[in-house]
Each structure stands twice: as C-alpha cells, then as structure tokens.
Amino acid sequence: MLTRVLFALIVTVGFTLAASAQEAKVLALGVADHEVTQEEAEKGAALPVPRFNSPAIAYILAADLKKGDTVEVALFNEDTSLLHNTQTLSEDQAKLLLQAGKRGVPAGGWPEGSYSAKVTVTRDGKTLIEQSSKPVAFE
C-alpha cells in the first residue's frame, strides 16, 4: 500500500514539474494583408501577402507564456523596424496572439524591399525567443 502511495506521489510531482517546465514557443509568425484571427494563425495555412497598396500586419501566435513575460512583435523592411507592439503578461497564458502593423497604406504605398515579422520573448530579463519570419516582397 505504501508503495502505491509513493508511486502516485512521484507521478503527480513529475507531471507538475513537467508542466511548469514548458518553455514558451512560437506557433505562427508572419506578415499578412489583414489583421489575423487566432483561428487563422492556428490553422497554419499560408495567409495573403501584403501588396504595396494594402495593409501590412506582422503577427505572432505564441504558447506557454508565463506571468511577467514580455512579447514584442515588429514589422521590418530589410533591417529597419517600421512598427512594433509589446505586451507584458499580467498572468500565465496558454496562447497569445499579438500583432503590429498598419490597417491603412502609407502615402505612395509601401517602400520596396523585403518585409518580415520579428518576435522577441523575454522572461526575467533573459531572451527566450528571438525569431524572424521568412522575408516577403510586396508586389
């Protein structure tokens, strides 16, 4: 009987430690021509690429985030950050969708170049994730 109780205790503690050890991860990252819904990001299908005369939105769907984590997503043209959005979490979140971009079009359209979404996730002052999407050119 004591063996069963100890086994159950070890299994329970093991599952608890495994659950708390989950690291933040990127589920979807990219640039689209519209504000992305969480359902679209979760499907993982290719989203329409912005055109020089359409909106451009960088998006990140992240998972396993903890209270105090800071998530930043930015829309880049080559090495230049154009727009960004940052959120510091007030509680643990299984999933977070964060977007940065422009619903309108800059006067004269978007400048030439390759555009990408970049994300940085930090926890306790340490960078957990630093990732960029595949660059795309706006037609």
CATH number of the domain encompassing residue 113: 2.60.40.10
- Let me know if residue 91 belongs to a domain: yes
Number of domains in the chain: 1
Q: Which of 100, 105, 107, 106 is nearest to 133 (CA)?
A: 100
pLDDT at 22: 78
- Let me know if residue 1 belongs to a domain: no
Measured between alpha carbons, how far is 38 from 23 in angstroms, rounded to an integer?
20
pLDDT at 51: 94
Measured between alpha carbons, how far is 75 from 119 in angstroms, rounded to an integer?
9
**What's this model's pTM, rounded to 2 decimal places?**
0.83
pLDDT at 8: 47
Measured between alpha carbons, how far is 36 from 57 in angstroms, rounded to an integer?
8
CA distances, 23 to each of 30, 103, 109 (Å) = 21, 32, 39
pLDDT at 109: 93
Range of the domain at 38: 23-137
- Let me know if residue 17 belongs to a domain: no
Mean pLDDT, each 10-residue run in order, the chain (139 residues): 48 45 90 97 93 96 98 97 98 98 92 96 96 95
